Chain A
Amino acid sequence: MPLNVVLEKLMGGMGVTVSIFLLTLLFSIPLGLPLSLARMSKNKVLSVISGIYISVMRGTPLMLQIIVIYFLPFYGFGINVTSGYRFVAVIIAFSLNYAAYFAEIYRSGIQSIPKGQYEAAQILGYSRVQTFIRIVMPQMFKRVLPAMTNEIITLVKDTSLSFAIATAEMFTMAKQIAAKEASLAPLMAAGVFYYVFNLLVAHVCKRVEKHYDYYRI
């Protein structure tokens, strides 16, 4: 296989990897919030159900979740899926899984807001919703940024798990080419790509954290 074809294939995989990464963040970051609220809810049913959900998502392998979600329509409901469903299944599995992790991060962030903030808001006439949106959420977000960064860096590497259902992302491509060419070079190239991608992600996260340096909690 000529080098330019190899590189082209890897580049294509890279695009898919970046898409998985961005779409997962797009869905899981907001989804984690209602999940964490449900987890902390005084409503027993809500908090137990979300607690079980979070614990299952965090306690079973992501690769298994990907495979289950991919095969569920067929084995569960007898629906034949198109090949495009591969990518959709990956996005669903990643979003559901990462939402669980983010929910726990948000929960610890929300619980670390001092009681005095709620009390001051109550005395000053803020409603509960206003208190949450204006006072708690912004401070929670700043507090959880370091933990979010860790999780996001893990996500970059986790995207490679979607090789389990042969999604045409970076790692799957590299593995295929490596097998065909009997060479480690494609895998090395993939490794370099993940590393550089993560440097970039870490840099962006640092910038976001810096942006919030204008105040201390």
Chain B
Amino acid sequence: MELVKIENCRKNFDGEEILKGISLSVKEGEVVSVIGPSGSGKSTLLRCACMLETMDGGSLYYAGKQAAHEENGRVSYASGAELKEIRKTFGLVFQNFNLFPHYSVLKNVTEPQIIAGRSKEEADKKAKECLEKLGLIDKISGYPCQLSGGQQQRVSIARALALEPKVLFFDEPTSALDPELTGEVLKVIRDLAALHMTMIIVTHEMNFAKEVSDRMIFMEKGVIRAEGSPEELFGSDDERLRSFMGKLNGN
């Protein structure tokens, strides 16, 4: 089943078209990575999918439910109550974590669950389970400012997982980390991929993307320029794609 379906997504900023009609569907259990040069619109695409930005054109579906669709050239979104339900199907891991600094690690993971309607006990149990899995059980009473970037990012992944989303989006989850800390976060994502978690990952980590993805998408200037299995993309003779990947590997 298609968990996420974006059709012909368009987005303008200040009169400039940043997304020029992007379509993307992701099936249950699939891991899709999105690569492309800076400014190509990767984050904007993710933010449109997560409804942090409103689209200027196109439609959006989660697990068959319509979140937004285009009608007479205008995008209309589902009602507040419907969107609230739809939002439960996905989670987003931010580049700079966005943990709640005034909450302990544990409360960061429990409170969203309580807001979603779980009891305090259930939320606690689930939070500890997730934090345990991510190797953070000894940090639960600490505060985000006491953790390394890698630990903070793992807490934010635990926070997202605790809500049991069907799809998880990542926007450059390791870009804000020191190089020696990226490994621990990539490992977590790799483990999730092994468990067939449905994920859409924007990343500059080419080797990681190649290894973890079922499908890769190369974006450039607001369009999908190439799409396919990692083998297809890495073997492509598209000049732009080759030079982009070559540049990254050279670094």
Contacts and interface: CB of A to CB of B under 8 A. Distances in A.
B101 A215 contact: yes
A215 B52 contact: no
B101 A139 contact: yes
Interface stretch (B9-17, B33-41, B92-100): B92-100
Given A125-B115, A216-B145, A142 B102 contact: yes
B101 A124 contact: no
Interface residues of B, number: 25
Given A120-B94, A135-B100, A215-B143, A126 B115 contact: yes
B52 A123 contact: yes
B100 A117 contact: yes
B224 to A, nearest CB: 24
Interface residues of A, number: 20
A215 B105 CA distance: 11
Contact of A215 (B84, B91, B102, B159): B102
Nearest to A116: B98
Given A139-B101, A139-B102, A142-B102, A124 B112 contact: yes
Contacts of A216: 101, 143, 145
Contacts of B96: 116
A177 to B, nearest CB: 49
A138 B102 contact: yes
A124 B159 contact: yes
Chain A CB count within 10 A is highest, among B90, B100, B143, B159, for B100
Interface of B: 50, 52, 84, 87-88, 90-92, 94, 96, 98-102, 111-112, 115-116, 143-145, 159-160, 163
